[in-house]
Amino acid sequence: MSKILVTGGAGYIGSHTSLALLQAGFEVVVLDNLSNSSAEALRRVAQITGRAPSFVQADVRDGAMLKEVFAQHPIDTVLHFAGLKAVGESVAQPLRYVDNNVHGSQVLLQAMADAGVFKLVFSSSATVYGEPAQMPIAESCPVGRPTNPYGRSKLMVEDMLRDLAAADQRWRMAILRYFNPVGAHETGLLGEDPRGTPNNLVPYMAQVVVGRLPELAVYGNDYPTADGTGVRDYIHVVDLAEGHLRALQALHFRSGAHVWNLGTGQGYSVLDMIRAFEVASGRPVPYRIAPRRPGDIAICYADPTKARLELDWVARRGLPEMMSDTWRWQHMNPAGYG
């Protein structure tokens, strides 16, 4: 039986997607260097599904190792999550982001071509739209100039994929532009476990509520939005994982490189998020208004129509579920995977 290779499969989105793949009956090989994750996530995946993915601890930049993996396993498709994602870090260490995200993808693509594997699902980001020209953002909206080196690394990989698909018709590629993934698996066993102080709103808020951090800084209340705080399209990570399975199916009868937004189409402000988390946790979220964060945009939410029509996929989980699943994960695992 053919298998799916999941790079970065021990990470936040990769672990939830590996779980969904196993539950759908796929054979899964995870390749991860554990630079931002723990093998415990894969043990939890096995605990929930009753099936363990094969695990290779390796770096996607290691072409010789990839060659071995493709020789050992009958891999049909690659889901490529492996990469670095911290915006601030990318500003301080831009070359590291080019090396890991862009060069890493190049090495992987070469190894795939050498092994005759031409189906790929790539984790891109709404950040490639830069300062969006229209709202909601459809895939037809031109990509902009991302506000940071992390975002530019995603756009460089997207361009590399489009060039490759144009040069060789054997490639079948899904470029998935995620909006803001949040939430956790409903069991509370899998979730987001950021190293150090979280950069993103929801994990930060969750750590404030359990007392690991003193208070949340709300970055700006003078944006042109209903309550002045930034608006984003938060999407449950399990909905996102399901989107990958639909993209995988869509590649059976589509060649070339295709882009799909994975978002809900619904925007929530930072204050909406605080209130929803207070309801889910039954606890207050102490916060103060702080200056805007450089590089932030006011509003960003998806037009998810293309994914609905072409992938038959819609996000089904609403904000209360996103927040209660985050809270269950945080509550059951106050120190993450430990």
Which residues would be at the binding site for ligand NAD (CB under 6 A)?
Answer: 7-8, 10-14, 32-37, 59-61, 81-85, 100, 104, 123, 125, 178, 181
Which two structure tokens, joined as six digits, stand for 73? Answer: 């396993």
Smaller CB distance to ligand UD1: residue 23 or 199? 199
| Catalytic pick among 12, 97, 129, 150 | 150
- Structure tokens belonging to residue 101: 């995200």
Chosen residue from 138, 217, 279, 289 binding ligand UD1 by CB under 6 A: 217
Task: Candidates 127, 266, 324, 330: give the one binding ligand UD1 (CB under 6 A).
Answer: 127
Select 220 or 263, whichever has its Cβ closest to ligand NAD: 263
If the CB atoms of residues 289 and 299 are measured against ligand NAD, the closer one turns out to be: 299
Chain mean position to CA 149: 17
User: Omega of the bond prior to 181 within 30 degrees of 0, cis?
Assistant: no
| Contact partner at residue 195 from ligand NAD, ligand UD1, none, CB < 5 to 8 Å by partner kind | none
* Interaction between residue 201 and ligand UD1 (CB under 6 A): yes
- Matching residue, tokens 């997607």: 17
CA–CA distance, 18 with 22 (Å, rounded to integer):
6
CA dihedral over 186, 191, 307, 32, signed as positive or negative:
negative
Strands in 299-300's sheet, in edge-to-edge order, are 268-269, 231-232, 299-300
Query: Smallest distance from the beta carbon of 308 to ligand UD1, in angstroms?
Result: 22
The pair of three-digit structure tokens given for residue 44, joined into one six-digit string: 């939890």
CA angle 103, 104, 110 (to 5 degrees): 85
With beta carbons less than 8 A apart as the criterion, state whether 317 and 250 touch: no
CB of 230 to ligand UD1, least distance (A): 2
**Quick one: what does residue 206 bind among ligand NAD, ligand UD1, none, with the CB cut-off 5 to 8 Å set by partner type?**
none
> Residue 295 binds what, of ligand NAD, ligand UD1, none (CB under 5 to 8 Å, by partner type)?
ligand UD1
CA 238 to chain centre: 11
CA atoms within 13 A on the CB side of 173: 27
Contacted entry of ligand UD1, ligand NAD, none for residue 122, CB cut-off 5 to 8 Å set by kind: none
Residue written as token pair 């054997």: 170
Catalytic residue list contains 129: no
Question: Cβ closer to ligand NAD: 83 or 243?
Answer: 83
Print the binding letters for residues 141-180 with ligand UD1: x by CB under 6 A, - otherwise: ------x--xx----------------------------x
Q: Does 218 bind ligand UD1 (CB under 6 A)?
A: yes
Q: How far is the CB of 47 from ligand UD1 (least distance, A)?
A: 27
Instruction: Out of 296, 308, 321, 337, point to the residue binding ligand UD1 (CB under 6 A).
Output: 296
By the rule CB under 6 A, 278 interacts with ligand UD1: no
- Residue, CB closest to ligand UD1: 230
In the complex, minimum distance from the CB of residue 1 to ligand UD1, in angstroms, rounded to a whole number? 34
Q: Is the peptide bond prior to 136 cis by the omega test (within 30 degrees of 0)? A: yes
Partner whose footprint covers residue 209, from ligand UD1, ligand NAD, none (CB < 5 to 8 Å by kind): none
- Counting residues that bind ligand UD1 (by CB under 6 A) gives 22
Mapped onto helix, strand or coil, the DSSP state of residue 113 is helix
C-alpha 200/C-alpha 186 separation (Å) is 21
Query: Can you state the angle between helices 63-72 and 104-115, rounded to 10 degrees?
Result: 40
Minimum distance between the CB of residue 181 and ligand NAD, rounded to whole angstroms? 5
The burial of 135, by beta-carbon neighbours within 10 Å (0-12 exposed, 13-18 middle, 19 or more buried), is given as middle
Give the 3-state secondary structure of 33-79.
CCCCCCHHHHHHHHHHHCCCCEEEECCCCCHHHHHHHHHHCCEEEEE
Which residues sit at the interface with ligand UD1, rule CB under 6 A? 85, 87, 125, 127, 147, 150-151, 180, 199-201, 204, 216-219, 230, 232, 270, 293, 295-296
Which positions are annotated as active-site residues?
Answer: 150
